[in-house]
Structure 1
Amino acid sequence: MNLDALVAAHSDQWRRLDELSRRRRLTGGQADELLDLYQQVSTHLSLIRTGEADPTLVRHLSTILSRARVTLAGQTSSTWSDLGGFFLRTFPAALYRLRRWWLLTLALNVLAAFLVAWWTIEHPQVYTSMMTREEINAYVGTDFENYYREFPHHEFATLVWVNNAWVAAQAIVFGVLGFPVVYVLWQNTMGLGIVGALMASHDRASLFFGMILPHGLLELTAVFVAGGAGLWLFWSWIDPGPRPRAVAFAEAGRTVIAIALGLVAVLLVSGLIEGFVTPSGLPTAARILIGVLAEAAFFAYVFVVGRRAFRAGATGDVSRTAVGDAAPMAG
């Protein structure tokens, strides 16, 4: 095979294929031309590889063909409209769809936190066995409040955002097994109840709620949403209904991933509140009001935007086209 003759004869076709594969939109005729050129250049590459292949030319044609293959397959790219669709349809619909799971999780954990706090107040040995008298006085007197003020605001906001995202991620990922979700939630709830009891026992309840509520309402709601989603994921393969277990679990997994991605934004908001509002010099009532408004905005997002999206057919899962064909099922 004369490689130079092949290059001279077909270089125009290679350039044309490269040009078409870089276009974001093609007409019907251009799409047909792209397919024809793809087949022809694939043949050229096979011929070159069977002879004395030039590595540089092989790499060049392979790159062109790879780009053309992506174009032919219907490449999608992230756009602002895609992002808007996620936050106006996919994420809120998923939250609304799973509302019973995370609302029940929220209610049970809030109740558990108050029960733990009550028990700890009645049995102070719960914290005296873990901390010395000096440690307790330091924590109640300065350490609890200083925790929110010892770092620069932007660093602290980033720190708590990453930490809370990690806790939420654990609650979701452990949904594969079920019980670990309960353990993660219990650890957080128990810690919250014990700290609240410790502060209340030393007449510092107003400081506790003044520092926790501004960011904690939204932050804990996000964690409970993650926990509820994780438990729903677990239940999807325990009771798949008429669908094969693998299909039910895959669908639930995609919806839970959408929730996980959306919670990153929710936790970013709570992290910003914790980093900039909680330690600020604003009056306690103003800081708590900001937290209440953020929580109210989240519930409005779920029960107004989410309900509308859900009733319009969104479920939190990806589109049917993205999922692909499914085998028919009885029932």
Structure 2
Amino acid sequence: MNVQRWMARREASWRQLDALLQRAEKKGLKSLSGIQVRQMASLYRSVSADLARAKSNAVGQAVIKDLQQLTSRGYRQIYQGSRRQEWQELLDFYRYGFPETVQQTWPYIAIATALFGLGGLVGWWFAWQDPAFLRSVLGQAFVEEVKTSQELWTVSILGVEPVASSQIMINNIGVSLWAMIGGIAMFMPSVPLLTPPGAFTVYLLLFNGLMIGCVGVLVAQAGLAWDLWAFVFPHGSLELPAIFMAGGAGLLLARSILLPGAYRRADALRIYGLQAVRLLYGIITLLVIAGIIEGFFSPQPWIPNGLKYAVGMALFIGLVQYCRRQRPA
């Protein structure tokens, strides 16, 4: 290889990459256009190949050193810069992207909330009217144990907080995933028949609401309502809205299949599916926080119930304000 001729032919690319890197180092990658970023990546790859060739063809050490510095700078900007960009995009999603998605999908979240509330009202009404209904939903042994012991079952968390917290997170995330997947699932567990998209989501919301309604009657009859709702408020202020959002995501997916509107079903599923996935990212974060609170804060007997109610209300108000957040103009 004629070293001088090769260097003369390649030097323009090296200087071009150096100029782009200097600009990125001084003003950041955002100062480069999309075309310039792609050009920088292409030049980086070609200069990396030049470095390998220089090392294998007895090119002077000064040239090799210059090319090593150039490739090192290129690596930092292209790969570490892209990581910084990813973190910035993640931060932007949690600052504005998730609230925007909640605002865009609020009718579906509202319907999911109403279904849960309907299940709760039905459970409360029938459990209050008929003790047999209460026992059939919650189980005879559980009902008798609560009424006899006059103690909440939540004390089982004490002493095993880390394990309980992780199990709570896993369970709640699983419920949320099923509520979302139920929007497109054509089956229901234990039901050997095909069902319409969204049926399982509706079933989950109604059933969980029914359970909450029955539990409410049980603790009211046992004189434990104040203590139970003090336990529920801190984590429930995040956990229940997250489950409603998951139900809304499931209904959104069901809508894309059943009522695609002006879109083809495949296009509707892609459009609404993206919104559902964006909801899911935020939901998982809410459930992780709720799981930590439920494991380490909610069951602690030394924390006054009044404080637990206050924390729950503050978290809920904060969540509402967060979900109303607008991106600056």
Matched letter for residue 98 of structure 1: T
In the alignment, what sits opposite 2:317? 296
What TM-score do you get using the length of structure 1 for normalisation?
A: 0.69
> Is it true that 1:230 corresponds to 2:250 in the alignment?
yes
Following the alignment from structure 1 to structure 2, what is the Cα–Cα distance between the partners of residues 201 and 34? 69
Of 254, 257, 265, the match for 2:277: 257
- Partner SS, residue 183 of structure 2: helix
Task: Give yes or no for the alignment of 1:144 onto 2:149.
Answer: no
- Alignment partners' CA distance in 1, 2:41 and 2:314: 54
Matched, 1:94 2:115: no
Judge conservation of contact 1:148–1:278 (CA < 8 Å) in 2. Answer: no
1:1-331 alignment runs, 5 A limit: 35=42, 79-129=86-136, 135-140=142-147, 141=149, 142=151, 144-149=153-158, 151-152=160-161, 154-176=162-184, 177-280=197-300, 281-303=302-324, 305=325, 308-309=326-327
- 1:218 CA drift (Å): 2.0
Relative to structure 2, which stretch is displaced further, 25-34 or 187-196? Answer: 25-34
Deviations 1:108-150 (A, max 9, x none): 3224303311211111102334677664332343352323425
**Deviation (angstroms), 1:167:** 0.8
Q: Measure how far apart 1:268 and its partner are.
A: 1.8
Mapped partners of 2:304, 2:312: distance in 1: 13
* TM-score of the two chains, using structure 2 as the length reference: 0.69
In structure 2, C-alpha distance between the alignment counterparts of 1:163 and 1:302, rounded to whole Å: 24
Is contact 2:115–2:202 with CA below 8 Å preserved after alignment?
A: no
Give the C-alpha shift of residue 253 in structure 1: 0.8
Number of positions where the alignment pairs a residue of Structure 1 with one of Structure 2: 275
Q: What secondary structure, in the 3-state scheme, does the structure 1 residue paired with 2:316 have?
A: helix
Indicate the structure whose relative CO is greater, using CA pairs within 8 Å and at least 6 residues apart. Answer: 1
Gaps of 5+ in 2: 50-70, 185-196
Post-superposition CA distance 1:147-175 (Å, at most 9, x none): 342522x3322221221111111111221
Q: Alpha-carbon deviations, 1:56-94, whole Å to 9, x = none?
A: xxxxxxxx9xx99xx79x967654321221012211100
Distance 1:251 1:136, change over 3 A: same
143 and 206 in structure 1: CA distance in 2 versus 1, 3 angstrom threshold: closer
Identity among equivalent pairs (%): 24
Rate the CA distance shift 1:36–1:243 in 2: closer, same or farther, 3 A.
Answer: same
- Superposed displacement of residue 285, structure 1: 1.2
Look up the SS of the partner of 2:248 in the other structure: helix
- Give 3-state SS (helix, strand or coil) of 1:279's partner: coil
Question: Structure 1: 5+ residue runs without aligned partners?
Answer: 43-63, 313-331
Alpha-carbon distance in structure 1 between the residues aligned to 2:131 and 2:255: 38
Q: Secondary structure at the match of 1:195?
A: helix
> CA contact under 8 A between 2:119 and 2:208: conserved in structure 1?
no
